[in-house]
Amino acid sequence: MHSLKREIETLKKEKKAVILAHYYVPDDVQEIADCIGDSFYLSKAAKETDAQIIVFAGVSFMGESAKILNPGKKVLLPDPTADCAMAHMADPKKIQEMKEVHPDLAVVCYINSTAELKTYSDVCVTSANAVKVVKALPNKEIFFIPDRHLGSFVAEQVPEKQIFLNDGYCPVHHKITPEDVRWAKAAHPEALCFVHPECPEEVVALSDYAGSTSGIIKAVEQSDAKEFLIGTEAGVLYELKKNNPDKIFHLVTPEQCCYDMKKVTLEKIRDCLRDESNEVHVPEEVSKKAAKAMERMLELAK
């Protein structure tokens, strides 16, 4: 075994730590993780673990979410500068204005958001449970923050509710265009196109399946097709290829890379575990309010 990986293994045992990793981090990090998953799976794993130290191989909102669900545990981020641009794309003033104009409104906050934004919301969602949670809410009017594309995907699936959209987006998925899909389909006419709902609506409309990262992984496994065009972050190819060695995968475009997720390296994992550095702190008041929205999600998504 690679000596760095051995060092991480030894440190992990010594400190009774667990490494949680999102599907978008580099392949060698996914290889050494105890749990790999999408945002929903990882938030449940963070809640259920007995480990006293959680190393979160992902971006800062993920580390914050793990800390909010486990205030008594030590959560370490291998690279605290790994941030998600979309996590900041909602304005508390706008949320307040919407609540004043629509008093029965529920603010539904995608988990890809800062802890502070979560405090203004009634419930959190991930891409894997957003439709289920929005359907389960008693409110007819919903303000969906921060991702406008996931918001409009949910609006399409839940037509009985009025969903107001915010103007945030994930720069990685937002960049994929309908022309990209048409080009990719022309180049690989046998392939099915599976995309993430963070992609623009026109891209989702051209796809054969749209769903969360884990949804895409499951849908590929259940499909009889042999070739796929994948419209989400490139890191997911590691799991797709591992589980389906006989299937062929192409990205819709070569640019589907989240550079923040790629900041997480084995060296940084070793260092933060060894030094117990880069601990995530969420102010108590913020944490308590954000926890309510996250716990409500876990309850409604059961």
Window 183-242: residues binding ligand 13P (CB under 6 A):
198, 212-213
d(CA 173, CA 176): 6
HEC profile of 59-101:
CHHHHHHHHHHCCCCEEECCCCCCCCHHHHCCCHHHHHHHHHH
d(CA 34, CA 224): 30
112 is a site residue for ligand SF4 (CB under 6 A):
yes
Task: Give the one residue of 42, 137, 170, 236 binding ligand SF4; rule: CB under 6 A.
Answer: 170
253 is a site residue for ligand SF4 (CB under 6 A):
no
d(CA 247, CA 171): 28
Window 24-53: residues binding ligand SF4 (CB under 6 A):
24
79 is a site residue for ligand SF4 (CB under 6 A):
no
**CA 264 from centre of chain:** 15
Site mask for ligand SF4 (CB under 6 A), range 5-24, x = bound: -------------------x
Q: Which is nearer to ligand SF4, 11 or 89 (CB)?
A: 89
Alpha-helical regions (H) of the chain: 3-15, 27-32, 39-48, 60-69, 92-101, 115-119, 130-136, 148-157, 171-174, 178-187, 201-206, 213-222, 236-243, 266-275, 284-300
**Binding site partner of 126, from ligand SF4, ligand 13P, none, Cβ cut-off 5-8 A by kind:** ligand 13P
CB of 140 to ligand SF4, least distance (A): 28
**Binding site partner of 153, from ligand SF4, ligand 13P, none, Cβ cut-off 5-8 A by kind:** none
CB of 14 to ligand 13P, least distance (A): 30
Both tokens of residue 66?
Answer: 């793990």
**Binding site partner of 171, from ligand 13P, ligand SF4, none, Cβ cut-off 5-8 A by kind:** ligand SF4
260 is a site residue for ligand SF4 (CB under 6 A):
yes
Site mask for ligand 13P (CB under 6 A), range 92-131, x = bound: --------------------x-------------xxx---
> Is the four-CA dihedral 81, 280, 294, 12 of positive or negative sign?
positive
